[in-house]
Amino acid sequence: MPRPLARVLALLELLQSGGVRTVGELAGRLEVDERTVRRYVGHLLDLDVPVESVRGRYGGYRLAPGHRLPPLMLTDEEALAVLLGLAAGRQAGLTAATATASETAAAKIRRVLPERTRPRLDALLGSLAFTAPPGEAAAPDAAVLLTIADAVAHHRPVVVRYTSGAGRHGERTLHPHGLVAHSGRLYVTATEPATGAERTFRLDRMSGARVLPGSFTPPAGRPDPARRLLTALATAPYRHEVSLRIQGTAELIRTRLPPAVAVVTELPPAADADPAAGPWHRVALRVERLDWLPGVLAALDLPFAIEHPDELRDLVEALARRLTDSAHRNGDH
């Protein structure tokens, strides 16, 4: 696309976002001088786009109220970004709509693309492979997601129909604080006003949501929604409770035990501790299985001690014996 034409379309996009734009602002955004901006406005007027000139101290240009803009016009880069976003969102299970809706949206975008662009993007999307998302991806209902998002933005209470992980159905009244995408799922962090408990809820387990009258004040001084979700996942009840002491920086420990898996707390240094050896941390985990932990601890390559359970100690000793046997085994079959 010729550069002047691309800038005219960029000017149209800026005016489409609403409000009055000063000539200086438009010149800065388009990286041209003010005289060129006025020439681009003339090009839009020649195309019957009703650009109005607003006089005065805060004057500039705006689109006439109520004007319906021409069909979608995207550059190659913009079209690629939109189509890749649709493909990745559908693959990750984060598209708040059915697969059919995602496919029809992509088809509509393809239809308005220039003929030379469409085959290139189709070739890219046809040859692009995605790794499987962790866990089973589940998209929430679009109406539920939009209702919850509006309630988060305006601090409105909501009633949702929710199915718990144990299969129990019921209505819950929530004060939603934030939306978080994690591992192929969408979550909402919220307070249940009846108990004051802070909880996280999966949106794909909600079959309906309704905004209630009134508003609430979000809790002050609390961690952001993403951090609260990771803490909730790391402290959820599981079959085994594990407590370790690991010597090393929190950053190193997090390379194998991220916040969604473990809670890492730095311990006070012992009186005879060597500062050069690094700090000790207590690492708490709640897990369904222990068999994966010995390999993770070995991969960390940091000094550690197992506080509990003893079953994990047995698994680490068994791994150590297997590694020792392999190290002493010669190359003959």
What CATH number does domain 142-215 carry, 2.30.30, 3.40.1000, 2.40.10, 2.60.120?
2.30.30
Determine the topology of domain 3-63 in CATH.
Arc Repressor Mutant, subunit A (1.10.10)
What is the reported pLDDT for 187? 84
240-327 topology per CATH: Alpha-Beta Plaits (3.30.70)
Question: Residue 45: which pLDDT band, with cuts at 50, 70 and 90?
Answer: confident
Return the HEC string of 74-112.
CCHHHHHHHHHHHHHHHHHCCCCCCHHHHHHHHHHHHHC
The domains spanning 142-215 and 240-327 adopt the same CATH topology: no
- Residue ranges per domain, the chain? 3-63, 76-127, 142-215, 240-327
Question: Which among 151, 142, 186, 146 is positioned nearest to 172, based on CA atoms?
Answer: 151
pLDDT digits (tens, 9 = 90+) for 130-179: 555 544 456 677 788 888 888 888 899 999 999 876 678 889 999 998 88
Reply yes or no on whether the pLDDT at 127 is more than 70: no
Residue with the larger pLDDT of the pair 66 and 11:
11
Residue-level pLDDT at 6: 78
Least confident of 16-20, 81-85, 132-136: 132-136
Residue, of 289 and 332, whose pLDDT is higher: 289
What is the reported pLDDT for 49? 83
Alpha carbon of 185 to those of 92, 131, 134, 204, 256: distances in Å?
8, 16, 10, 8, 22
Mean pLDDT of the chain: 80
Mean pLDDT computed over 230-259 = 82
The whole-number average pLDDT for the span 84-98 is: 63
